[in-house]
Amino acid sequence: MATRSEVVHCYGQLASGVALMAELARSKEWGQLPALEEKCAAIVDRLKVLAPMEALDPSQFEEALRLIERIRADQDEVSGLVKPQIEQLIARMTFLQQQRSLGKAYGPPH
């Protein structure tokens, strides 16, 4: 039985984390995403150190590619779900800032 490389293990962890982020985004559980994104970023940092030092055999390489494709698909989904929420938040913040400016200029509404 071939041993599993640490690089492939990290890609597996990253794939699981990003899949969970997609699940949370589909459920609109936005509050849990930042901590999970932080964990994924730590895994990416670890991969940056490991990948140049570890050679993968062909089966490990194929598994890593499969995981990377899964990660990309889930990242695209998360981005597609989160981006409209961010745009909506920015629009609300802009509106509130305009209201605040008008309040300062003309006084509070009656």
The answer to whether position 18 is within a domain reads: yes
The answer to whether position 105 is within a domain reads: no
We report the CATH number of the domain holding residue 50 as 1.20.58
What confidence tier does 7 reach under pLDDT thresholds 50, 70, 90?
very high
The answer to whether position 11 is within a domain reads: yes
The answer to whether position 44 is within a domain reads: yes
Domain extent, residue 11, equals 6-81
pLDDT tens-digit series, residues 50-95:
988 888 999 999 999 999 999 999 999 999 999 988 888 898 899 8
What predicted TM-score, i.e. pTM, was given to this entire model?
0.78
Q: Total structural domains in the chain?
A: 1
The answer to whether position 68 is within a domain reads: yes
DSSP 53: G
Query: What is the rounded CA–CA span in Å between residue 63 and residue 25?
Result: 26
* Cβ contact 89:34 at 8 Å: no
The answer to whether position 53 is within a domain reads: yes
The answer to whether position 26 is within a domain reads: yes
Mean pLDDT of the chain: 90
The answer to whether position 90 is within a domain reads: no
